[in-house]
A and B are shown apart, each in its own frame.
Chain A
Amino acid sequence: MSARLIALRAILLREALRFTQQRSRFIAALVRPLVWLFVFAAGFRAALGLSITPPYQTYITYETYILPGLCGMICLFNGMQSSLSLVYDREMGAMRLLLTSPLPRWWLLFAKLIAGAVVAVLQCVAFLGIAAIYGIRLPLVGYLAILPAILIAALMLGALGLLLSSRIRQLENFAGVMNFVIFPVFFLSSALYPLWKMREAGPLLADLCALNPFTQAVELIRFAAYGQANLPALGWTVLAFVLFAALGVRGYDPGRGLTKSKG
């Protein structure tokens, strides 16, 4: 096995180990979308009428509609959590071990992204399992097709987290950034309401939603959940991933100065 693959495997295993050890993190990651599914969606079911739009071929419940969006939410929070841990690791020193490896820095950061995305997929699988037990199910083919879509979405949102972490110098600055990222990204998307519904509220809002890469990621997951490929959504999501990852890796360029003066 090549040195790069050995490092990738080690980073993946370490992230998986952390995931299994930090049970509270896993439970928190699941409770958040489940509250939206079982409380928020139940309350909104009567208030929000949904017409038949692709990929749906019949009337659906609101719970069914927001299921892909909540998978996106899991990926979004996971990406931000990874970003927070990157900032923490950098401040506390653990990141230095990674950055002083002789392997290319972009590869090591990419390995971190993959590890984070795999964790997001596992969280989504658990979430979809609970939703299925509750009766909110996807077509059988959807359970297979949704996995790569979630992985791509999680990679893109992990790359966004990487980009943020490369721009944030201190942990104290992180809470503010989270508020300015998570809330707009989530609410200005098709996760909770379809774009046509948003357009009724205002064309500008609808356009902002359409431009949001998170919307594209959610639509990628939504179509995949019904065994369909939404190629424009796939293209935009991959493009956003490449852009965020490139800028994020650039942010970790030693020439740009990641560490603070300590004497």
Chain B
Amino acid sequence: MSAGLQIRGVSYTYGPKAALSDISFAVPAGRFCALLGPNGAGKSTLFNLLTRLLVPPSGQIMVAGHDLAKVPGLALAAMGVVFQQPTFDPELSVRRNLLFFAALHGLAGREAAARIDAALERLAMRERAGERARDLNGGHRRRMEIARALIHRPQFLLLDEPTVGLDAASRRSVTDHVHALAADGMTVLWATHLTDEVAPDDQLVILHQGRVLADGTARDIAGPDGLTPTFLALTGGEA
């Protein structure tokens, strides 16, 4: 059984409009993969397919060795997701938000509490456990959502433009935290349209108009010109 993520021949259309055309790429276990694409490239559609909010009419998605179409429960259990839009209850405390999520994964009691403490500790958020989610700043909210995505100990972490709306310091902090998770063995797929969130050693998949334009190490794809000019040249300057 192979870990990581494999996407083979996945397409998706909204009516006559093709959002994704024959997408194939793989992220090896323990790798940080940046999915880079301008707005409208198909990143969110791909995330909806990966989280089974949509089902592809063709192709195959394997998550941590589990076929998402055949055993969705196992595939989703192996996956931690941070959505682009906030998905927490602002009136509840950080801990209560995380407890609710833990319960959706069948975790309760001392085990849930211990995992929540560990996840918050990992994201340096433990001292904020009692705060109401509404009172957190944007960066802390994102870190709370990343901590939440770790509670059930996933092997694969999906983040859909998680730094949208954050200031530069928070953006750096969130990006660093997730890179650190990948360094510890977590497989990460990080969707973004910002080239400065991609580290030279990251795997990079460039998505444009529903197609994969490049797949390799960011350093190799960037070449001597650097990533931003290369990305703009590949996508016709639509960054």
Counting CB contacts under 8 A, is B237 at the interface? no
Q: Say whether A14 contacts B105, CB under 8 Å.
A: no
Cβ–Cβ < 8 Å partners of B43 in chain A: 263
Q: Say whether B101 contacts A100, CB under 8 Å.
A: no
Counting CB contacts under 8 A, is A32 at the interface? no
Counting CB contacts under 8 A, is B104 at the interface? yes
What is the minimal beta-carbon distance from A201 to any residue of chain B, in angstroms?
46
Mask: chain B, 87-127; 1 = CB below 8 Å from A; 0 = not: 11101100000011101111110000000000000000000
Known contacts: A10-B99, A96-B53. The answer to whether A262 contacts B73 by CB under 8 A is no
Counting CB contacts under 8 A, is B81 at the interface? yes
Q: 8 Å CB contacts to A: which residues of B35-90?
A: 39-45, 48, 51-55, 72-74, 76-77, 79, 81, 83-89
What is the minimal beta-carbon distance from B101 to any residue of chain A, in angstroms?
7
Cβ–Cβ < 8 Å partners of A255 in chain B: 55
Cβ–Cβ < 8 Å partners of B44 in chain A: 261-263
Cβ–Cβ < 8 Å partners of B106 in chain A: 2-4, 6-7, 102-103
Counting CB contacts under 8 A, is A126 at the interface? no
User: In the complex the two chains form, what is the Cα distance from A254 to B51 in whole Å?
Assistant: 10
Q: Say whether A10 contacts B87, CB under 8 Å.
A: no
Counting CB contacts under 8 A, is A98 at the interface? yes
B108 is contacted by which of A6, A14, A17, A108 (Cβ under 8 Å)?
A: A6
A259 is contacted by which of B54, B79, B88, B103 (Cβ under 8 Å)?
A: B54
Q: Say whether A96 contacts B83, CB under 8 Å.
A: yes
Q: Say whether B14 contacts A261, CB under 8 Å.
A: yes
Q: Say whether A103 contacts B104, CB under 8 Å.
A: yes
- Total interface residues on B, CB under 8 Å, equals 41
Known contacts: A10-B100, A14-B100, A102-B105. The answer to whether A258 contacts B85 by CB under 8 A is no
Q: 8 Å CB contacts to B: which residues of A81-115?
A: 92-94, 96-104, 108
Counting CB contacts under 8 A, is B212 at the interface? no
What is the minimal beta-carbon distance from B55 to any residue of chain A, in angstroms?
4
What is the minimal beta-carbon distance from B81 to any residue of chain A, in angstroms?
6
A100 is contacted by which of B39, B40, B74, B81 (Cβ under 8 Å)?
A: B81
User: In the complex the two chains form, what is the Cα distance from A262 to B83 in whole Å?
Assistant: 12
Known contacts: A103-B73, A263-B41. The answer to whether A98 contacts B53 by CB under 8 A is no
Cβ–Cβ < 8 Å partners of A258 in chain B: 53-54
Cβ–Cβ < 8 Å partners of A2 in chain B: 106
User: In the complex the two chains form, what is the Cα distance from A254 to B48 in whole Å?
Assistant: 9
Counting CB contacts under 8 A, is B19 at the interface? yes
Q: Say whether A254 contacts B103, CB under 8 Å.
A: no
What is the minimal beta-carbon distance from A242 to any residue of chain B, in angstroms?
24
Cβ–Cβ < 8 Å partners of B81 in chain A: 96, 100
Cβ–Cβ < 8 Å partners of B89 in chain A: 14, 94
User: In the complex the two chains form, what is the Cα distance from A99 to B43 in whole Å?
Assistant: 19
Cβ–Cβ < 8 Å partners of B103 in chain A: 6-7, 9-11
Which of A11, A101, A102 has the most CB atoms of chain B within a 10 A radius of its CB?
A102
What is the minimal beta-carbon distance from B95 to any residue of chain A, in angstroms?
13
Mask: chain A, 200-225; 1 = CB below 8 Å from B; 0 = not: 00000000000000000000000000
Counting CB contacts under 8 A, is A21 at the interface? yes
Counting CB contacts under 8 A, is A28 at the interface? no
Q: Say whether A100 contacts B53, CB under 8 Å.
A: yes
User: In the complex the two chains form, what is the Cα distance from A98 to B88 in whole Å?
Assistant: 11
B39 is contacted by which of A6, A108, A263 (Cβ under 8 Å)?
A: A263
Q: Say whether B107 contacts A257, CB under 8 Å.
A: no
User: In the complex the two chains form, what is the Cα distance from A258 to B83 in whole Å?
Assistant: 16
A104 is contacted by which of B14, B53, B55, B73 (Cβ under 8 Å)?
A: B73
What is the minimal beta-carbon distance from B75 to any residue of chain A, in angstroms?
8
Known contacts: A6-B103, A9-B103, A10-B99. The answer to whether A21 contacts B91 by CB under 8 A is yes
10 nearest CB pairs, A to B: A3-B106, A10-B103, A93-B85, A102-B77, A263-B40, A101-B104, A262-B44, A102-B76, A255-B55, A102-B73
A sample of 11 cross-chain residue pairs with beta-carbon separation below 8 angstroms, ordered by A number, consists of A3-B107, A9-B103, A96-B81, A100-B76, A102-B72, A103-B104, A254-B54, A258-B54, A261-B14, A263-B40, A263-B43
